[in-house]
Amino acid sequence: MAAQNNNNNADKVFVVMPETDEDGLSLLSWVLNYFSQDKTKIIITRVTTSPIEELLDIHQMNEFLQMDLVLNKYLQHCVTYKFLAEKLLHKADDIADGIVQVIAKHGINNLAMCSTANSDMTDLASETAIKVRREANLSCKLWFVSDGNLIFTRDPVVNLASTSSGSSSESTIEEGDIDVDASLILMLHETSIKADNLEKMVEEFFGAHKKMAHLVNKLAKNSQQKEQEIRDLKENLEREKQEKDQLRREIEENEHKKIEEIEQITKEIDLLRIQRNEDFNQIQVAHERRLALEEQVSDLEFLVNELCMQKEKMHYVSSTALNSEFSLQELQQATENFSESLKIGEGAFGPVYKGSLRRTTVAIKLLRSQSIQGLSQFQQEITILTKVRHPNLVNLIGACSEVSALVYEYLSNGSLEDRLTCANNTPPLTWYARTRIIGEICLALIFLHSNKPQLVVHGDLKPGNILLDTNLVSKLSDFGISRLLKQTDTNSTAFHKTSRPAGTLSYNDPEYYSTGILTPKSDIYSLGIIILRLLTGKPPMNIARQVEDAMSNDMLSSVIDESAGAWPFEQAKELAKIALRCAEISRSQRPDLVNEVWVVVEPLMKAACTYVELAEESIPPSHFICPIYQEVMKDPCIAADGFTYDAEAIKQWLSTGHNTSPMTNLALPHHDLIPNRVLRSAIHEWLQSHPQS
């Protein structure tokens, strides 16, 4: 610490606070830390160019009070660190002059103040600090601090009395200060004494104005009271306004609630009206079914008599229309006596077994019971599949009339339902496979609906009745409830009328269930539900409503099945649109299969097939791939183990200390490499034809 003087300020440090609070706290923290061991008294000093006691108006008084609050905060900071502290205000026309005056007036021995530093932090850059260092009483030690760091110190110069008394301490002057001799020091000391007298006169002069300042303080207090009254009045007015606004909001909320209640009651009335109409329709349908049952009972005797005739007729049809008639013994041998281990499915009217029949893998569907309905569907399946042939229809190989069994070609990838649910941990179908399957179903339906002389309506189109072969080519199956329809003229719609609609509820035409009328548009409804399932992977119940809501909210991507891969959004959107049209409740609103549905599906199917072809073409042959880098080789070379590697890869392998083969892990007899020029030429030719790779 600086040398201590004998005057009263020897154990005090005057801290000149800057205008900004942040810099002031930084300076004060440095001082408190520096003098933490001495517990020196801190004099919080503020030099201002604004009036202090000669306050002229309330605005200036408020400024003074604000400044005083800041100084009080500094005092509290000192107290927190257990330092004694007081504050000092000084008014001057110039800050630097004011600091010099304070040092002289109070005989200050220690003073710290803020200053900016030059670029290398070795000297002062503030004009105020430079002026204080140059003009302040030399007996005062100065500390200059920047951002909490000490950048310069000016030590005090011992006075002449100390020098003449023979003190061994020498006068020290910091590098950069001007040189002074003893006479100059004496002159400065005398000047300092005169300055002290002058300051005392100024202090007496200021005392004369204290009374005036006291009056101004009273005026300020009165003004503050008036201002407080005005603020209170404003607060009361604001409070009344808020209460009125709150009351208005409550009234509006009550009115809104009443409107909502009325709307809710209206909706409930509408729902009750709809429910009443539905109940009435159900009663009417039940009545019609009762009449139909009565008609069936009256015809039951006739049907029983016809049963034997039907069986004989089926035997004749199966033996003449099919390629093969199989015996029960053959089927038992093919299926190991219908072993459960060979059971691959369960249809509505019986189990399905996998078997080996006459050196061919087949699927055998066995009728569970000899009911009239079962025999009728058995005959219908034979009748239709012997009359129509198409690549996307399952191939019926033969039948066994002994047990009413049908023998089909075996399709290894099961049903479309199995693949949509990833049964047996099978991988999900890709978007391009799904698009192609949609196209294949359309082609099969176009063929059936345009069949001559009688068109065919499937009647139970669903993923469970669509089978997939080894290459995931789809084929329609299960024609047990299908119908051959004869069109009387070109302007009429062919249909089949029944009192007992059959099929699967989630996929069947709603109008077919309500009217019993089956038309080609019934298959189109089922097609729409299947397309939506392939797009979303969701169950069929209410699937059309979910997709329609997503599209109306521009959120179709949120319902697309991500497991199918990155489905091109525009293609998915086109399929969703046409599927929703197909799944219209009203039959008249559904699109034409050829002129509207196929027009949309065909180009999407072709694009999907093209994508697959390009993807397959872009895959390089396996012998072009480096076993180490797993990339197409640039410079293939044969190593001592007989395998071909990319030259860079095998060289790096050998250079890292490996002496074994990367493929066999056996020791290499040598490290020589032979260029494989034939393979390099083939790779070069392939890369030229596949620039995208």
Residues classed as catalytic: 460
For residues 441 and 457, what is the distance between their CA atoms, to the nearest angstrom?
13
The 3-state secondary structure of 148-175 reads: CEEEEEECCCCCHHHHHCCCCCCCCCCC
CA nearest neighbour of 106 among 16, 3, 212: 16
For residues 342 and 334, what is the distance between their CA atoms, to the nearest angstrom?
10
Amino acid at site 207: G
For residues 448 and 444, what is the distance between their CA atoms, to the nearest angstrom?
6
For residues 356 and 336, what is the distance between their CA atoms, to the nearest angstrom?
10
Strand order in the sheet with 85-91: 85-91, 41-48, 12-16, 110-114, 141-146, 149-154
Residue 117 DSSP symbol = B
Residue 271's CB: how many other CB atoms inside 10 A? 10
φ, ψ at 346 (rounded to 5°): -140, 110
For residues 350 and 488, what is the distance between their CA atoms, to the nearest angstrom?
36
For residues 98 and 88, what is the distance between their CA atoms, to the nearest angstrom?
12
Amino acid at site 10: A
Continuous segment of H or E residues that includes residue 290:
helix 210-321
Classify residue 269 by burial, with Cβ atoms within 10 Å: 0-12, 13-18, 19+: exposed
- The contacts found for 377-381 with CB under 8 angstroms, 24 or more apart, are 377/349, 377/480, 377/481, 378/314, 378/349, 378/404, 378/406, 378/480, 379/310, 379/313, 379/314, 379/317, 380/479, 380/480, 380/481, 380/482, 380/483, 381/406, 381/478, 381/479, 381/480, 381/482
Alpha helices in 81-158 (DSSP H): 95-105, 127-135
For residues 305 and 299, what is the distance between their CA atoms, to the nearest angstrom?
10
